[in-house]
Structure 1
Amino acid sequence: MPLSDIVRTLNSPSADGHSDFLRRSGLDHPFVAVDGRVFIHYANIRLESKFLPIVDAASGKSHGHASTIQAFGLSSKLPMSPEAVFVLPTDAEEFVYLDRLVRTLHALNYLTQPVRGNLLLRVHARHILSVPANHGLAFEEILRPCGLFPDQITLEIDTDRVSDPAHFIRAVASYRSRGYAIAVSHFGRTTLDFAFLAALQPAIVKLDKRLLAARRPLERIIADIHALGARVLIEGIDSGRLRRHAGLQHIDLLQAHAPLTRPAGIRVAADAGNWARLDAAA
């Protein structure tokens, strides 16, 4: 289905399964398609997708991309941080639907990427804790008209200081049962909870920059993560020292760091072939 038709379907008040999503989010035709790209208009803010290359550390081949948002005031044109956008919802229900809306935005824009692969999409911990059950079902129904399926998606989850671990474990099990892979981000920021990590059964574990900056020996930590069947990922700019020795450290995946926010219309590299240029720019 052409991108414009998908956007029309998602914006349609009569679209089965999607009208409820948009109505409960309080948004009227939030998706805007321009020149083959899709944006969201929310609370007088324009949200855009950016995709950060992830490559295999050993081979340099593309694994896929991590998604992030760039936000600008519709009137002021001034940039906002992603964190600031997620402060705007007034209750848990609105937060859940904004979080889901942003992931839908990334799924739509990923369809136009020349080099694709697996897509990492962030799911906020507040979203997970706010949804009582059947995690992943609503998003799977939204993905279907986009031509994407759960086995093409890795859901990236921050597990630091989770208030209800049992609920979190059940939620992640529901995601995995639907075919989504799980990536745990910011591992080692405040603690190294391998028991919780094992219960979540992630496919990818992203080491936190604080852990990398601490200069503590990582060999045992990485070995323990590998023993759980997960791959270890580090982000580029914050871990240049380790990037040069990724093979020696047994690091599996390298992710480009999020670029500085810039005005709409300026493209950033979105394929593994541009990794060297991103690396040099760091």
Structure 2
Amino acid sequence: MIAPTVPDLVSKAAEHPFLGAHIALGDGEHEGTALAKFHGVTLGSAYEPIFDVGTHSFPQTLTASPESAERFGDELGVQALTLLTDGPSYDPFAQMNDDRQLVELDRLSRALHAFNFFGAQRPGLLFLRVHERLLKSVKYDHGRHFSSVLIDFGLNPSRIVIELPAAAVAHKTFLGYLTKSYQHYGFKVAGNLPNAGQIMSVSEMARLDFIKMDAGAALRDSVVKHLVGYANRLRIPLIFDHVTDEAQFDALQQFDVRFVQGPVFDAHPVNSR
């Protein structure tokens, strides 16, 4: 089966009762990508790589050429970022006070990022963040709607990682329910640790596919070695994100950290929402 292109997906979206009113093919500098119009703004997609630096058997350094970050290992996947079409990152969820609009925006942005990811035949996994308020707005069957949309467009939910916020990870019972629900509908699930100690309970109520931890916080609290060791015992990949500079990257490498993410690896970084 031939993989659909971005124009194919946008064309099919025109027939969808919700997506057809918002998603269109860009032109000019946005030619070949999908854009989404919502409440007076036009949104686009950007992607921050997540590197598997463990695929190299020798220490890496950013000194010579930060622009050549692709040499630091294979890409596990990418983190989707929502952008205004003029460039800067944007948190449209912060502007939404109405829960119904919040759900609509979430469904729209997820579809937008999926179209631009799959339509460009990108390799690896697509990490999509879930807003805390959205998790509370949708009462049950988390993942059912998005999974049905992906399947209808011929896209594979198993290549998407739903990334849960730290507030959800902090509540074990809720975390267990969310993880099982999203996995039931074919997704992988990542959880952001609110603190290092929370890793002790992530396997009690939920078998996450990935764990994420802020690199700066882990280094500041001297818990990187502890986190790596415990994640290895759990056999759950641990991703250190928000790696901001070379000093942080070098410090992480001292503890056999495998997966890293952050603006230091991007020659043209955008700020994450």
Query: What corresponds to 1:140 in structure 2?
Result: 147
Conservation of the 8 A alpha-carbon contact between 2:166 and 2:194: no
Of residues 157, 160, 175, the one that matches 2:164 is: 157
Of residues 7, 11, 30, the one that matches 2:10 is: 7
Give me the TM-score of the superposition, normalised by structure 2.
0.78
Conservation of the 8 A alpha-carbon contact between 1:58 and 1:247: no
- The change in CA–CA distance for 1:80 and 1:63 in structure 2 (over 3 A counts) is closer
| Structure 1 residue 201: Cα displacement | 2.0
One-letter code of the match for 2:111?
T
CA distance in 2: counterparts of 1:207 and 1:163, whole angstroms: 13
Query: What corresponds to 1:92 in structure 2?
Result: 99
CA distance in 1: counterparts of 2:169 and 2:188, whole angstroms: 20
Q: Which runs of 5+ in 1 are unaligned?
A: 259-274
- The change in CA–CA distance for 1:133 and 1:37 in structure 2 (over 3 A counts) is same
Which range moves more in the overlay, 96-105 or 195-204?
195-204
Conservation of the 8 A alpha-carbon contact between 1:40 and 1:47: yes
Give me the TM-score of the superposition, normalised by structure 1.
0.75
| Structure 1 residue 112: Cα displacement | 3.7
Of residues 71, 78, 81, the one that matches 2:84 is: 71
Query: What corresponds to 1:202 in structure 2?
Result: 208
Give the secondary-structure state (helix, strand or coil) at the position aligned to 2:189.
strand
Query: What corresponds to 2:247 in structure 1?
Result: 241
Equivalences, count = 244
| Structure 1 residue 247: Cα displacement | 4.2
- The change in CA–CA distance for 1:165 and 1:128 in structure 2 (over 3 A counts) is farther
Percent identity (aligned): 21
Report matched runs for 1:226-265 at 5 Å: 226-235=232-241, 237-238=243-244, 240-257=246-263
Query: What corresponds to 1:109 in structure 2?
Result: 116
| Structure 1 residue 216: Cα displacement | 1.6
Query: What corresponds to 1:82 in structure 2?
Result: 90
1:192-244: CA deviation from partner (whole Å, max 9, x where unpaired): 32354222322222212441351524211221222222112123642533422
Query: What corresponds to 2:63 in structure 1?
Result: none
Query: What corresponds to 1:263 in structure 2?
Result: none
CA distance in 2: counterparts of 1:200 and 1:181, whole angstroms: 12
Conservation of the 8 A alpha-carbon contact between 2:132 and 2:168: no
Query: What corresponds to 1:32 in structure 2?
Result: 24
- The change in CA–CA distance for 1:278 and 1:192 in structure 2 (over 3 A counts) is farther
CA distance in 2: counterparts of 1:212 and 1:123, whole angstroms: 22
Query: What corresponds to 2:53 in structure 1?
Result: 57
- The change in CA–CA distance for 1:90 and 1:215 in structure 2 (over 3 A counts) is closer
CA distance in 1: counterparts of 2:160 and 2:169, whole angstroms: 23
Query: What corresponds to 2:64 in structure 1?
Result: none
CA distance in 1: counterparts of 2:52 and 2:89, whole angstroms: 29
1:99-153: CA deviation from partner (whole Å, max 9, x where unpaired): 1211110000012435421111111122122212111110011112443212111
Give the secondary-structure state (helix, strand or coil) at the position aligned to 2:135.
helix
1:257-276: CA deviation from partner (whole Å, max 9, x where unpaired): 29xxxxxxxxxxxxxxxx58
Of residues 185, 191, 197, the one that matches 1:192 is: 197
CA distance in 1: counterparts of 2:243 and 2:5, whole angstroms: 36
